[in-house]
Amino acid sequence: MILFIDMSTQNKITETESFHRRLRIGDWHFDDRKDAISSVIGLGSCIALALYDPVRHYGILSHLMLPKRLDEFISDSLDLRYIEDAVPFLVEMMRINGSKKIVAKAVGGATLFKELISPKKITIGQRNTASLIKALEKEHIPIVASDFDKEHGRTITFYHHDGILLVKSYKLGSMEI
């Protein structure tokens, strides 16, 4: 089964033929094919969250923007740009597809313009990281690998079948988590 959500299509879930999906903010991609790949390019303060089932060998990659909506934008509709909406939904998608064991890998929460931020101020990236950790703890999902904070952008590639998350940056090169 292949499911992909594209925020530009007004949250419609579609089956996709392509084995490689590039995700924008609020997008997610679930796939159980051996050749399935998802990526997030130019990740800064946002979070790329991969949920993976090591028993069934499939997973979801999502691109999350902020911890929660601002009060003036609260509505009853689901918005997967926000960690508080996305994490419970994504975990439920894994469970609906038969997952009993789910682990998380996450990357992001960078502070790209540190010199413009007061040293005592919590950055958007730090808030995103803290919010994600809290949301996953609430769902009882362990984070088995992460690459948080930093001061540079990254490109993420997730291999759905084996759960490998490849992190590339101009400063540190490539690493697998």
Alpha-carbon distance of 68 to 161, in angstroms, equals 30
More confident residue, 116 or 17: 116
Question: Residue 11: pLDDT above 50?
Answer: no
pLDDT of residue 75: 65
Alpha-carbon distance of 108 to 151, in angstroms, equals 10
User: How confident is the model over 96-118, as a mean pLDDT?
Assistant: 87
Q: How confident is the model at residue 74 (pLDDT cuts 50, 70, 90)?
A: low
Alpha-carbon distance of 25 to 6, in angstroms, equals 9
Q: Please state the length of the chain.
A: 177
The model's pLDDT over 154-176, given as tens digits with 9 standing for 90+, comes to 999 999 999 999 999 988 899 99
User: How confident is the model over 58-84, as a mean pLDDT?
Assistant: 84
Q: Which of 89, 114, 93, 78 is nearest to 32 (CA)?
A: 93
- Rg from Cα positions in the chain: 15
Mean pLDDT across the chain: 87
Q: Which two three-digit tokens encode residue 104?
A: 């998380």
pLDDT of residue 37: 94
**What's the half-sphere exposure (Cβ side, CA atoms, 13 Å) at 121?**
10
Number of domains in the chain: 1
Q: Which two three-digit tokens encode residue 95?
A: 């469970």
Question: Residue 147: pLDDT above 70?
Answer: yes
The domain in which residue 132 lies consists of 2-176
In Å, what is the CA distance from 128 to each residue of 44, 97, 159? 11, 27, 23
Bridge-based pairing state of the strands 58-64 and 28-31: antiparallel
Q: Domain of 89: which CATH number?
A: 3.30.1330.200
The residue behind tokens 């499939």 is: 58
pLDDT of residue 149: 86
Q: How confident is the model at residue 12 (pLDDT cuts 50, 70, 90)?
A: very low
